[in-house]
Amino acid sequence: MRYLTGTLLAAAGVVALAAPVIAQGSAASAPAPAAGAPADAPPLIARDKLFGNPSRTAGRISPDGRWLSWIAPRDGVLNIWVAPASDPQAARALTNEKARPIRSYNWSPDARQILFVNDKGGDENFLLYGVDVATGRQTTLTPFEKTRAMIVGTSNRIKDRVLVGLNNRDPRYHDVHSLDLKTGKLTLVQQNDGYAGFVADNDLKLRIAAKPDAEGGVDYHRMTDGKIEAEPFARIGLDDALTTSPVGFSADGRTLYWIDSRGRDTAALLAQDVATGRTRPLAQDARADIGGVLVDPRTFAVQAYRADYLKPEWKPLDRAIGADLRFLEQRLGAPPIVTSQTDDNSRWTVAVDPVVRPSETWLFDRRGRKLTQLFVSRPELAGAPLVPMHGVEIRTRDGLTLPSYLTLPAGADANRDGRADRPAPLVLLVHGGPQARDQYGYNGSHQWLANRGYAVMSVNYRGSTGFGKRFISAGNREWAGKMHDDLIDAVDWAVRQGVTTPDKVAIMGGSYGGYATLVGLTFTPDKFRCGVSIVGPSNLFTLIQSIPAYWEAGKRQLYARVGDPATAEGRALLEARSPLGRADRITKPLLIGQGANDPRVKQAESDQIVDAMKAKGIPVTYVLFPDEGHGFARPVNNIAFNAVAENFLQSCLGGRAEPIGGAVKASTAQVLHGAEFAPGLREALASK
């Protein structure tokens, strides 16, 4: 899908731990049956099929319509492939990454190059690379050390240049450069002295600068010929800061589009006349923020928008686009996701997610209403016993409604209506961020755990994004407070609904979800049988002290939402809400996974709580990956950790598990402590 041009460099200074990087899946041999499996249990789905490399993903069509592209394995590592649009079978690998998988890419405006970013070992210093489609020649377009590059602006008129943000001068801020795609020359356009980001127009001129204020809000300043006006034309307070921002100009520069919650709760889509300043609403939904738009690649006019409450709902603003979307949904059996468009908007690539079948990508010729299937992302999952995901609403003790997602194992929901026929052990799977959200759709972790015999619940607790500003602000300074109460209320709901029993609940998650796991075992230890924490912070004070330099613009907002280490009150709050200080209260089994190069939640966060538990003689298993960052991007590492995790969960919840086998041996996993506390791990390490 093509979004509005000129998005902000750092989302107006927003920072979040975010969900950890988790790689997703390829083919493998069938696993051995689990011992003691119920007679009606479906076959185990091999971990490799769920978490290995996809066969193909991220299908795109080039702006000129001549080429198709996708990400697929080359020698076991995800790389970019291209093929003539007239002959998709004549595909060839364009890149040759040997270690880190390529996870996203874009076509250059002139369709001569593929542009992608990649880091080293998960350090998140993403450099920008360009690969010539005709010759296969790869160029490092931002050849700098310890630099995080990002594309700031592209144009449908200026084909040979893009705007790029670089923090090589000052690691806190991204200066804007013009990048000549033919020569690779970088020319400074705007030095950044304290701004969160910039919005460019279709002429690649910077028109808006976003500057954080002292209270965690954002001021927006007009720009003309590189000069930033002293007085902002819009001031956005803390409550609106995550739900209000300009997202781009129309192609003629006369209209500025906003996602905007000012004067309302959920974020609406607005169009502002640049000359008069008048705004008019284009779309809004009382239940959820506008979460995405489909725009005309010629004019950048919004043609459809998405509101995502329990399920995504696309609504057209253009009659012809509405007819196309209805046609696609009828033919494909699920809401379409437009992943790319040609410049003339005549052809799209469209993905569809049936949830209980592998996702598919299609080429759609709008003029002839012709659909051609390009690929199935995970053909090895065709016929696998995948189960539905169900959206549910859960009321909290203080009256909030939590949009959440429940997946039940096949044996506990024979008619697949989302109502449990009998209780099953429950894994509470907590999303990261916390300024993020869980969504409806195929979820490898949900399918994996449900296949092992567990009910799986993901909860959009207060502080999650997507459900309006009041829902976000209800989480301010409530880490380990009301945000955790929401998770407990969800567990209690599941018990009342017969989904599970109080003595069969585990908590698991990455990033903030890893923190929530540590909170669960330290603040409410009687609620959970065990926990799995992936890159989870244990000490909020050291977490905030060690944030990446490029989070500088969003630091005040982070303090406002978590706690300010510069004040006595803030320090007391950070200390009180840190699991580290309560490590001696852990009485249940704990498994920790960490990437050594994580720039957001540094290794010290896991080291600290493991050391505290070791000092008290409390069992804990600690797995470190030296070539990973904020989560596990390399499939062999992700599979290895999940192999340990499912055998760990089996020991405390009684579900099923595929033996660890050679999964750990194939990875870079280092078990720094407690191999004896995770079933099968010592034997796996011996073979390694």
Q: Active-site residues: which are they?
A: 511, 598, 630
Enumerate residues 6+ apart whose C-beta is below 8 A from 622. 592, 594, 606, 610, 671, 672, 673, 674
Q: Which helix (H) or strand (E) holds 271?
A: strand 268-273
Closest CA to 504 of 458, 453, 445, 438: 453
Q: Tokens 């050594």 identify what position? A: 596
How crowded is the C-beta side of 409, counted as CA atoms within 13 Å? 28
What Å distances lie between residue 647 and 62, 243, 370, 644, CA to CA? 44, 41, 47, 5
* Chain-centroid distance, C-alpha 85: 30
Strands of 245-249's sheet in order across:
245-249, 255-260, 268-273, 279-283
In whole angstroms, give the CA distance from residue 544 to residue 533.
19
- List strand residue ranges (DSSP E) for 528-669, in order: 530-534, 590-595, 621-625, 631-632
In whole angstroms, give the CA distance from residue 353 to residue 610.
40
Q: Residues 536, 595: contact at Cβ < 8 Å?
A: no
Q: Which helix (H) or strand (E) holds 482?
A: helix 482-496
Enumerate residues 6+ apart whose C-beta is below 8 A from 140. 127, 128, 129
Enumerate residues 6+ apart whose C-beta is below 8 A from 319. none
In whole angstroms, give the CA distance from residue 209 to residue 190.
10
Residue 470 CB neighbours (<10 A): 14
Closest CA to 280 of 304, 254, 296, 257: 257
Q: Residues 209, 219: contact at Cβ < 8 Å?
A: no
3-class SS letters over 106-140? EECCCCCEEEEEECCCCCCCCEEEEEECCCCCEEE
The 3-state DSSP class for residue 240 equals: helix
Q: Tokens 């599970």 identify what position? A: 500
In whole angstroms, give the CA distance from residue 105 to residue 348.
17
Strands of 67-74's sheet in order across:
57-61, 67-74, 77-84, 92-93
